[in-house]
Amino acid sequence: MPSRAASPAACAAVLLCLAAGCRQPAQWNVLLVTFDTTRADFLGPYGRASAHTPALDRLAARGIVFERCYSAAPLTMPSHATIMTGTYPPRHGVRDNSLFALPDEASTLAEILSAEGYRTGAAVGSFVLDGQFGIGQGFDYFNDEVGQTYEDFRGRRVVEKEGLFFDERPASHVNEAILPWLRDEPGRPFLAWIHYWDPHEPHIPPAPYRYQFANDLYAGEIANADAAFGRVLDELEALGALETTVIVMTADHGEGRGQHEERTHATLCYDATLHVPLIVSVPGRPGGRRVASAVGTVDILPTILELLGLPAPAGVQGRSLVPELTGAPSRARTSYYAETLAPAIDFGLGELRAWRRGPYKYIHGPRPELFDVDADPEELHDLVADEAELAADLEQQLADFLAAEPGELAVKATHAADEATLLRLEALGYLTGAGVAPESLAEVLREGGKPPQDWVGDLGRFSGLKKALAENDFPQARELALLLLADDPGNEHYTAMLATAELGLGNQDEALRLIDEVDVPPRGLTRLYHGLAVRLAAEDEERALGLVDKVLAYEPTAAGHLLRSELLSRLGRGDAARAALEDALAADPGHVPARLDLAVALAGRGEPGRAESEFRTALEHNPLYPRSHFNYGKLLVDGGRFAEAESRFARAIELDRTYCNAYLGLITAQMARERLPAALATFDELQVACPDSEATGAAFDLLLGS
């Protein structure tokens, strides 16, 4: 670690540490864990009796629970930018997902600790935090490979969520990306940031949580993320690093879940989406304490730095929470800021900015609101008319706060999205053409525009439509699509989604009529049309192939060529199918599913050498894709290389605990090596992961025959 003179803050931290009997703070590691879209009141440490969050319970027992922590924005990228810089969105400049990038001039926690000799590594769970948006600056290792799973839990091919949601990866894959890094250089202090996207829609938790929380899959996703976090804690303990690591767990924002008619988040500034968990564990400090005073995610960076004996950079707006952590007198601030400009940027509605002071919270927008959040935590009783003088005072404080913002980074943060990202945002419904230009934003209180509170229901219907399609709830999807089209006839997105719902309901003629209404598929809806083709193929493969060709004519993607290959193969046109695979790899040499299909085709043609080469290339591009390991394992079994096959099948299971056929493959390889006890143990795991699958039945027959 570079030598430097001790700062007053460092000296104070050392004295504090010595008094507590802990180690030199400069030797502490830092683990920052962020759960996406996680309400505090859905966690065990915050009083939810039905929660299954043993890892967070464990952290709370050894740490401090902040009962009232608030995010600066109900959006992933702006909120994480605040966490990483200790500044609010008007200062760091990131105001929405994917249309802004954190400027290089921003000073991040990773940059600060890297300069102090720390190893810095991160793994994120969603495209929203892709490195192109600047959030990875300062990290020596930043893993943002979030390619989606291309099969469902039954092993059936699925399209990449049909363009309805951001690309993501499950918590287990995030762990696979960060845990090997944690094991490197055991003697050197580190900063590790782990981000779990799972609680974000759509809610499709793996077993056993999809069964355990069948009535509330959101809670199941949180339980799955908690289990992944528990594995990280176990890893730290095994490495002997748990007792020397500062652990900070928080969330970027919460979830509306119907409060104030908001199904998800981003549109409103109520505490349903701003109240987040914050649990901090400090080496040598007793745990189990709770702090009731208001704090913010803006306070995380200065808190970590003071714990390590490092000064906060100039311009940081948060405060250190070390006094609360140690039981010393608080340096409590009395006000916190929050905003959501997404309604204006994405949909042309009004801006919302909030100012929290003491028990009161003022929300400025086209229709201002005032709440006593202590007496009215659900924000149901607007006091703006009854307390006009107080509302005016808080409005002035908010205006003064914004007027003090230089806005330099805000200008540099705009125009971050490339063409591919813009297409993706259009497909997701983030860009409607009605929003304001990001460069037109200013740090002033605006009153114009439509109140987002009045439009949140329509936005919720669109979110509900995407969710219903993702969950194959076609009756609900059809109802919501018709409601949306009644308000916006001819909308290409809604029309394509209605066609998907009609096809799912078996109304093929109506689906085809709707598809034909759009001569050229709208920008960014490529994957949604691929999803239509997949469903249409069950009834009319030739018509599905025609739809894919229609899309490929104007947007030739690797995913489109891959789907075309699959349809051609099903139609018995093997040579054309292989040519389509070559087209897919020409469009994107790193497209793993296409390369994998090519490897499988080569194996089927009796070319194991070429097939193995393609399998290895696929694994180089994405070592965390379970299907690659599984199919490579099958090739190894065919070649009699059972020990190697075992390791491939086992790896596939590590990456996807619900990969039923991988269990069957592992049992097959174990039986071939006469390892009956191991095969029986694997069968027990298979019964838990896939109780009613064909793989379970086949494995039973295999074991019975032995």
Q: How far is CA 86 from CA 78, 287, 301, 334, 692, in A?
A: 12, 25, 5, 17, 49
Give the amino acid at 151. Answer: E
Q: Exposed/middle/buried for 290, CB within 10 Å: 0-12, 13-18, 19+?
A: exposed
The correct answer on CATH 1.25.40.10 for the domain covering 626-706 is yes
Q: Are 321 and 293 in contact (CB under 8 A)?
A: no
Mean pLDDT of 173-183: 93
Q: Are 86 and 299 in contact (CB under 8 A)?
A: yes
Distance of CA 530 to the CA centre of its chain: 23
Its pTM stands at 0.81
Q: Exposed/middle/buried for 385, CB within 10 Å: 0-12, 13-18, 19+?
A: exposed
* pLDDT confidence bin for 517, thresholds 50/70/90: confident
DSSP string, 538-591: TT-HHHHHHHHHHHHHH---HHHHHHHHHHHHHTT-HHHHHHHHHHHHHH-TT-
Strand ranges in 429-521 using DSSP code E only, listed in sequence order: none
Q: Are 475 and 464 in contact (CB under 8 A)?
A: no
Question: pLDDT tens digits for 542-588?
Answer: 988 998 998 888 788 888 899 999 999 999 998 999 999 999 999 98
Structural tokens at position 486: 């009644």
| Rg (the chain; Cα; Å) | 26
Per-residue pLDDT for 163 more than 80? no
Q: Which residues contact residue 547 at a Cβ distance below 8 angstroms, ignoring those fewer than 6 apart? A: 515, 529, 532, 533, 536
Q: Which residues contact residue 607 at a Cβ distance below 8 angstroms, ignoring those fewer than 6 apart? A: none
* pLDDT confidence bin for 1, thresholds 50/70/90: very low
List the Cα angle 305/308/313 in 5-degree steps: 30
* pLDDT confidence bin for 420, thresholds 50/70/90: low
- Distance separating alpha carbons of residues 333 and 358, to the nearest angstrom: 9
Q: Where are the domains of the chain?
A: 24-331, 626-706
User: For a pLDDT cut of 90, what percent of the chain falls above it?
Assistant: 60
Q: Are strands 245-251 and 275-281 parallel, antiparallel or unpaired?
A: antiparallel
- Distance separating alpha carbons of residues 643 and 620, to the nearest angstrom: 21
Q: How many CB atoms lie within 10 A of CB 141?
A: 17
What would you measure as the largest C-alpha separation in the chain, in angstroms? 83
Per-residue pLDDT for 81 more than 50? yes
pLDDT of residue 206: 86
Q: Are 632 and 603 in contact (CB under 8 A)?
A: no
Question: pLDDT tens digits for 472-493?
Answer: 889 999 999 999 899 888 777 7
Q: How far is CA 241 from CA 120, 235, 542, 631, in A?
A: 15, 9, 59, 37
Question: pLDDT tens digits for 245-296?
Answer: 999 999 999 999 999 999 899 999 999 999 999 999 999 888 889 999 999 9
pLDDT of residue 410: 67
Structural tokens at position 533: 């083709």
pLDDT of residue 490: 79
- Distance separating alpha carbons of residues 429 and 427, to the nearest angstrom: 5
Question: pLDDT tens digits for 209-227?
Answer: 988 999 999 999 999 999 9
- Distance separating alpha carbons of residues 180 and 164, to the nearest angstrom: 32
Per-residue pLDDT for 470 more than 50? yes
Per-residue pLDDT for 303 more than 80? yes
Mean pLDDT of the chain: 87
Per-residue pLDDT for 437 more than 80? no
C-alpha neighbours within 13 Å on the C-beta side of residue 156: 6
- Sheet of 352-357, strands arranged across: 335-340, 352-357, 360-364, 369-372
pLDDT of residue 499: 86
Per-residue pLDDT for 603 more than 60? yes
More confident residue, 146 or 294: 294
Give the amino acid at 560. Answer: G
User: For a pLDDT cut of 70, what percent of the chain falls above it?
Assistant: 87
Structural tokens at position 270: 């109520």
Cis peptide before 208 (omega within 30 of 0): yes
Q: Among 165-169, 470-474, 558-562, 622-626, where is mean pLDDT lowest?
A: 165-169
What does the H/E/C string look like for 382-397? CCCCCCHHHHHHHHHH
pLDDT of residue 422: 63
* pLDDT confidence bin for 149, thresholds 50/70/90: very low
Backbone CA torsion sign across 639, 644, 649, 652: negative
The correct answer on CATH 3.40.50.720 for the domain covering 24-331 is no
Question: pLDDT tens digits for 686-698?
Answer: 999 888 889 999 9
* pLDDT confidence bin for 400, thresholds 50/70/90: very high
